[in-house]
Structure formats: structure tokens, C-alpha cells
Amino acid sequence: MPLKDPGPLTAEQKMERRIRILWITFVSSLVFFVLLITGINYGLVGYMPSVGELENPQSAISSEIFAADGTLLGRYYVTDRSNSIFSEISPNIISALIAREDYRFYEHSGIDAVATAAIPLYMLIHKKRGSSTITQQLAKNLFPRKSENFFTLPFMKLKEWVLAVKLERNLTKKEIITLYLNTVPFSDNVYGIKNASQTFFNKTPDKVTIDEAAVLIAQLKGNTLYNPRSHSAKAKEQRNVVLDQMHKYGYINDAQLTELRGKETPLDYHRIDYNTGLAPYFRQIVEQQVKLQCKGLKKPDGTPYDIYKDGLKIYTTLDMHMQRYAEEAVQEHLTDLQKQFMAQSGYNDGSVWKRGSALNILNASIKASDRYKGMMDDEIPEVKAMELMKKPVKMRLFAWNKARYKDTVMSPIDSIKYMKLFLQSGFMAMDPFTGEVKAWVGGIDHKSFQYDHVNINTKRQVGSTIKPLLYCFALEKGFSPCGIVSTAPQEFPGMKKPYDANMKGTTPEDMSLSRALALSINNAALYVLKQVGMEAFVDFAHKCGITAHMDPYPSVALGVSDISLYEMLGAYSMFPAGGIHTEPFFLSKIEDKNGVLIKSFAPSQKEIVNRNTAFKMVKMMRGVVNAGTGGRLRFKYGIHNDIAGKTGTTNSQADAWFIGYTPQLIAGVWVGCDDRVFRFRSERLGQGASAALPIWAYFMKRVYADRTTGINPAKTFDQPGDFADCQTMDTTGFYFDKTKKDSTEVDEDAGPPVQDINE
């Protein structure tokens, strides 16, 4: 039976049908929305962090390195970020943030319904308005959008809403705002309020003033556009917008607004990076050592520590005052010494580059340069590449001026010549009793010359600074400081004629062991070596902490071995420390981001010689300073404290050394060019007493003048109670042959033959 046609729908039926469809659509959409939110919440629609991850987000945190007094030296990071706790953040920062970004922060539960509902109205009047709360922005910062487009953006936004609500449920308002300020990016690629306040105002976040807080929070609207360092006018304009908002919501009054809007907010920009700031070479060695120390150690979750992401707290032994004095001393001396170096023939006219080893070094350096290798990668013919290397271009190079650089026009080849002829220096100071490194200067400018000349792996011929170790071994073998030694040429097995290492024209004469050390007589050292044995002395040097290879040949007594400054200071530590060798160390402890100790470090000590032998060496090395090769410490630099030390110079003045110590501190200096073919042609200028000792003098004068360093200028070396002297000390303060008193500054150190620059 055919169905009966119901006929046309009445108006009332049509309305009912529309309402039914509307309700079905609404309910279906609501169910879909609820299911979508549920799916997002449980991670069914993309990754959703767990509650634990929300409470303890694993954003990368930069590790921080501290000096002995707790001063921040620098950071190691992928992104430059450090954390603060809520109590370490000024209320001015909190107020500025809430006023500018989310004034209903304490009223909503993650999503500001009023602001969200108002979005369509603002769209109708073509006015842009952000509706994201601080909590939503935090969700975005903690778990950034990996990709977004027109279709995925709504889902990303819903996910951030869900995250915001979960954050509000699991964290307090204080925790949310602290997390936000710790993760948000500021200008100059700085992350977190702690780094931002230290970078732009050189102060911790709790000390930030109202206008400074406004400058920092203003950056959140555009960390490039409102960078106060590079766009001061725009930054000030946006700062005033923040101040207006703070006034609008009652955080500052009328008088404060008027005053703050009219004033300037001066920066104290203090960005620390690898190349600038205090102790860049030291920060570099610490970075290497921390990675080595943490190798094999695991975090509680079983993963290895990462110095660039895990927010480690690295505490060192470095003394901020001594480090600054060391860097100043190097600069003070080398600024003048470099001028004298370049005034030499061969260097002042560039003729040194025309032949021999210098020309070979130049050609090798050209081909090793980034510019040349880049042209080779681009398959530019070698002839064309060399033409381009000779073409002048604009460049910035190191210079001994206030800025430490100069802008110039120079060919790449000429720039290589220019940089190769800079004198370099290494300086290290340490406590001889604890081994704590107090100062570390690896070179003259880390940005231009990153090779560290203090590092244990950087070895240079040590010249006569090896002699105190030899003479100390001789004392242990029964020699007396007052005993007579020969200065005549010495015969050794396998040599066709006696080995004469003294200066030409020197007349051999017998003298006391002490005087031979004070005047650095080479043949006397050869005589002592012959008596104690070459192999035995090398073994003793290794016992003293020298890890470098030393060949048991006669020249080992004259310092031909390549040894690091780091090792030499460790070996010398036994003299002021009563015969106890103390290994240098510079790490105190390493903590994780929560302050939990990961690893601590302590001195490593061992007895090498007895206290009497050590004090005899102190007295003998006083002679070097009082009436020997180090005498200019007294008569030129006016340092009359209790000091002992030794100069050193290698053949043709390729290396200049001075290692000196007081009853509380030991410090060593090396000066030379990276390529040994470049050197002083004058012994007067290039010997250790002239090229290295002045840096030590400038450093110690600053240290003595600053009582906060703890170095007492009046302190003297402690004499053992059972000390047996071989004779009465003379007023010069060292053992000597009374009939042959000499206060000249002859430093007759020798090394293996080195090709002259004119060959």
C-alpha cells in the first residue's frame, strides 16, 4: 500500500525541524569538543606532558661557573638561561609583568574567559589584541609548537589551553609566574629573568628598580625591537607603556609615574661570553675539566650530565682580585714590550718573511686560513685564490689599545703576518700549600688567540727554571749550598769534546753551589748533573710532578725539555711548602641545578724532600732575587719582601720565564711567540729577567697593595726548628762565595740550536 504524502510542511513544522537540526549540531559539536579536549588531555591527539613534567619542566638551563668568593664568572649553555626562585625576584618585576601581560592573573584559572570572549569584538574593529594569559604563555614556552599552519593552529591553541589549566591545577600562582620568568626570552638571546637582570643591569633580580623592571618586561613584546642596548629610543617608549599599565592597575602612583617617565634608565651591560669578561682562558679549561669529571656520572634518571643543559653550579678556586691583577700585569708589560719587539730589524721592515723558516710558516698559515680553505671549497683556482689573499679588505684585528682591536684595511696575507708577530704570555698563580689556582691568564686576547699557554698540554722549553729542581736533587744527594762546584766545560760519555754551555768569553772559576744558581751558570749545572746522574735526575723531576717527557741527555740540566707552566708551578710548590709537593687544582665542587653535590675536590699532596732541604732551596733561590739574575725585582721594581725565584731563557731568546714565590703564593710567567722562529735578537730584551719577570713584579705589587687578597707583605719563610745551616748568611740573604760577590744579571740559559731568523 503506497505511503500517504504528508503534504507540504507548515511554518511551525519547518521551525521545529530547524531547531532540531540546530540542537543536533550543537550537541554533536559539544560532544566532539569534549572528546577532542579529552583526547588532547590524555595525549591521544599529539604529545601531552605528564603531571610530573609539568611540575618539573626539563627546559635547558645554562651551567654557571663561580669564583672563590661566589662571583659569577660565566655560563656554559645552548640557550643562555638560569633559574631564580620567587623570593629572588623583585616585586617590581612581578608587578610590571602582571600589569603588562595579564592583569587578571590572580583571578583566572589559566584561561581568561573575558579576554577570550572579547576577541571577536576586537576583530570587528580591526584592532589586534592578545588574549593569552601568563599561564598560557608559560605552556607555550615550556612545550613550544613544533609546527603550525592554518589547519593545525586551532589544535595547538586548544592544547595550550589544556596545558594552562593543568598547570594551574598542579602549581601555585607563585610557581607559575616564577617558571614563566625563568623561561621567557629577553633581548640578545638571553633567557630567564636572572640572566636578563645581570646582563642589562649587572645586578640580581631582587635588586631591580621599578623603571629597570619596566625595561626588562618591555622586551617581552619584541626582544629585538625593544632591545635597550641597540634600540634605546624604542625601548624607552615601550618602557613607558609598561609604566602606564602599572599606574593604570595601581602598582605605582601619579608622582612615581611622572618621575619615572621623565628619567633615563642607564644600562650596566655585562654580557659574559667565552671571549670577553674576566678569565676567558680559565673558563675554557674549566669547561673541559667539568666535562671530563662528569663523564660516567649519571643523573637520578640515569642519563648523563650535560654541562650545556643541566644547570650545573661549578665552584672554582679563582681569586677575582688576583685574576684582574694578573690580566692587568700582562697588558701593562706586553703593551710596551711588543713595541720593542717590532722595532727589531727584520720585523720593522717585514724582511723576516722573505726566506727561511718564517716564509715556510707564512705559506702554511695561508693555506690553513679559513678564507683560503673556503676558496678551495668553492673550487677557485689556487692562483686566483692567492691573488685574492693579496687584495686589501676591511677587517678588525687585535691591537694593544683600550678596545683591544682596530678596524683597518689590509690584505689577508698581511693580516696573517701581523697576527703571527704578537708576543704571547702565560701566567698562573697558586697557593703552594693547598694547590688552589688563584689566577690563570692563558694568552693576550681570547677572541683573537684562543691557544692557552698555561694548559698542561701546552709545553715550551723551560730554560734555567729547571735548575732549582736539579739543585734540590743534589742537596738530597749530599751537596751543600756552600759547597764548591766547577764551572768548566764538562765531559760526558759519547761526546767528542767537553760540553761548554757558558757564554762566550766566560772564564771558568769554581764557586759555591748557591752562587752558581743565583747567576745561572750553565756549566755548573752540567757539573751537578754529571754528579747526580742524568737518569736519576729525570726520575726525580717526574717525582716532583713533571709529567712531560724528558730525555736523559746533558742538555736536560739546561732546560731543553718542553714542559708546561702548570707542571712547573706544581713542581716548585715543594720549596715554600716545606718539601711537600701540591698538585695544582682549580675546581672546588660541582653541584646540580638544585644544589645537590655531584663531586668535590681536595688537594693532592706528597712529600718529595725534607723540610731542611726545601728551606735550603728557599735560601738559595732568595739569592737569585737578592743578587742574581732576578735582581731587578729589588733595584728596578722596588719589591723588598721575602721572595725567592728563578729566571729562565732558552736559546736565542725564544722563551722567557720567571717563576717566583713568597711565603704564601707562587706565580709563574712565560713570554714568547707561538712560532719559536720569531724571537728577540737581543739577550738584554729577550731574557727571562727582561721579558717575563716584569709581569710577575707588576702582579705582586698589586697583590701586596690589596690586603683583601690575604697576602701579607711582612710575612717571611718559616725556618724549620732543626735547620742546620752550612755557614752564616750574608746580608744579601743567600749563600755565596764571600770573595766573589756579584750582582750582575747574567742569564746564560741555553737550549738546542734554533735557526736564526736571517738564515
Nearest CA to 523 out of 551, 562, 546, 490 is that of: 490
Query: Is residue 154 pLDDT above 90, yes or no?
Result: no
pLDDT of residue 745: 41
The pLDDT value recorded for residue 59 is: 67
Q: Say yes or no: 513 and 577 in one domain.
A: yes
pLDDT at 165: 75
Task: Check whether residue 507 and residue 371 sit in a common domain.
Answer: no
Residue closest to 136 by CA, chosen among 162, 98, 99, 97: 162
Give dist(CA 692, CA 90) in Å, integer: 48
How many whole angstroms separate alpha carbon 633 and alpha carbon 640? 8
Q: Where residue 25 falls among pLDDT bands split at 50, 70, 90?
A: confident
Per-residue pLDDT tens over the stretch 210-262: 999 999 999 998 888 999 998 989 999 999 999 999 999 999 999 999 999 99
pLDDT at 113: 56
pLDDT band at 125 (very low <50, low <70, confident <90, very high): very low
Cα(162)–Cα(152) distance, integer angstroms: 16
Residues 413 and 442 in one domain: no
Residue 301 forms part of a structural domain: no
CA 94 to chain centre: 33
Confidence band of 28 (pLDDT split at 50, 70, 90): low
63 in any annotated domain: no
User: Could you tell me the pLDDT band of residue 116, with boundaries at 50, 70 and 90?
Assistant: low
Tell me, what CATH number does 99's domain have? Answer: 1.10.3810.10
Q: Are both 468 and 386 inside the same structural domain?
A: no
Residue 742 pLDDT exceeds 80:
no
Say if 169 falls within a structural domain.
yes
> Which residues lie closer than 8 Å to 505 by C-beta, 6 or more apart?
none
Q: What share of the chain is helix, strand, coil (3-state, %, to 5)?
A: 45, 10, 45
Q: Which of 385, 421, 481, 377 is nearest to 730 (CA)?
A: 481
Do 533 and 667 lie in one domain? The reply is yes
Q: What is the pLDDT of residue 115?
A: 53
Long-range interactions of 28-36: CB distance < 8 A, separation 24+: 36/158
**Domain shared by 489 and 378, yes or no:** no
Q: For strand 313-316 and strand 63-66, is the pairing parallel, antiparallel, or unpaired? A: parallel
Burial classification of residue 246, based on how many CB atoms lie within 10 Å of its CB (0-12 exposed, 13-18 middle, 19 or more buried): buried
- The amino acid sitting at 411 is S
Residue 237: CB atoms within 10 Å: 12
**Range 405-434 average pLDDT:** 96
Are residues 396 and 537 part of one domain? Answer: no
- Does residue 717 lie within any of the structural domains? yes
Neighbours of 440 (CB within 10 A): 32
* Locus of grid cell 699557554: 453
- Could you list the beta-strand ranges (E) of 58-117: 63-66, 72-76, 80-81
- Calpha distance 260→331 (Å, rounded): 42
Task: Provide the 3-class DSSP secondary structure of residue 595.
Answer: coil
Which pLDDT tens digit goes with each residue over 372-390? 998 998 899 999 999 999 9
Domain annotation covers residue 335 = no
> Which CATH number belongs to the domain containing residue 613 in this structure?
3.40.710.10
Local confidence band at 756 (pLDDT 50, 70, 90 cut-offs) = very low
Cα→Cα distances 650→240, 422, 449, 656, 749, Å: 64, 18, 23, 7, 6
Helix (H) or strand (E) holding 338: helix 320-342
DSSP tag of 222 = -
In a shared domain, residues 123 and 238: yes
Report H helices in 549-692. Answer: 565-572, 611-627, 632-635, 683-686, 688-691
Report d(CA 458, CA 460) in Å as an integer. Answer: 7
Q: Is the pLDDT confidence value at 746 over 50?
A: no
Structural domain includes residue 294: no
Do 498 and 553 lie in one domain? The reply is yes
- 284 lies in a domain? no
Reference 271, options 192, 201, 183, 324; nearest CA is 201
- The H-assigned helical ranges of 206-277 are 210-218, 232-248, 254-262
379 within domain boundaries: yes
Instruction: Calculate what percentage of the chain has a pLDDT beyond 70.
Output: 84
- Domain extent for 159: 83-273
Give the model's confidence band at 123: pLDDT under 50 very low, under 70 low, under 90 confident, else very high: very low
Alpha carbons 392 and 414: distance in angstroms, whole number: 9
Q: Is the pLDDT of residue 749 over 80?
A: no
C-alpha cell at 224: 629585538
Q: How many residues does the chain have?
A: 759
Q: What pLDDT digit, counting tens, does each position of 510-543 carry? A: 899 999 999 999 999 999 999 999 999 999 999 9
How far, in Å, CA of 505 to CA of 500, rounded? 11
Whether the per-residue pLDDT at 731 is higher than 70: the answer is: no
**Residue 373 CA: distances (Å) to CA of 80, 418, 595, 663:** 32, 20, 46, 52
pLDDT digit string (tens) for 282-297?
999 999 999 999 988 8
The per-residue pLDDT for 693 is 98
510 in the same domain as 468:
yes
- CA–CA gap between residue 604 and residue 580 (Å, rounded): 10
> Which residue, 243, 273, 303, sits at the end of a domain?
273
Per-residue model confidence as pLDDT tens digits over 55-102: 566 667 889 999 999 999 988 887 777 788 899 999 999 999 999 988
Last residue of a domain, one of 273, 303, 331: 273
Residue 145: per-residue pLDDT: 52
* Distance of alpha carbon 341 from alpha carbon 209, whole angstroms: 51
Average pLDDT of every residue of the chain: 86
Is the same domain home to 119 and 100?
yes
- Chain centroid to Cα 100, Å, comes to 38
Q: How confident is the model at residue 753 (pLDDT cuts 50, 70, 90)?
A: very low
Question: Domain check: are 468 and 588 in the same one?
Answer: yes
Instruction: Give the number of domains in the chain.
Output: 3
Q: 638-675, pLDDT tens digit by residue?
A: 999 999 999 999 988 999 999 999 999 999 999 999 99
With vertex at residue 203, the alpha carbon angle to CA 200 and CA 208, rounded to the nearest 5 degrees, is: 85
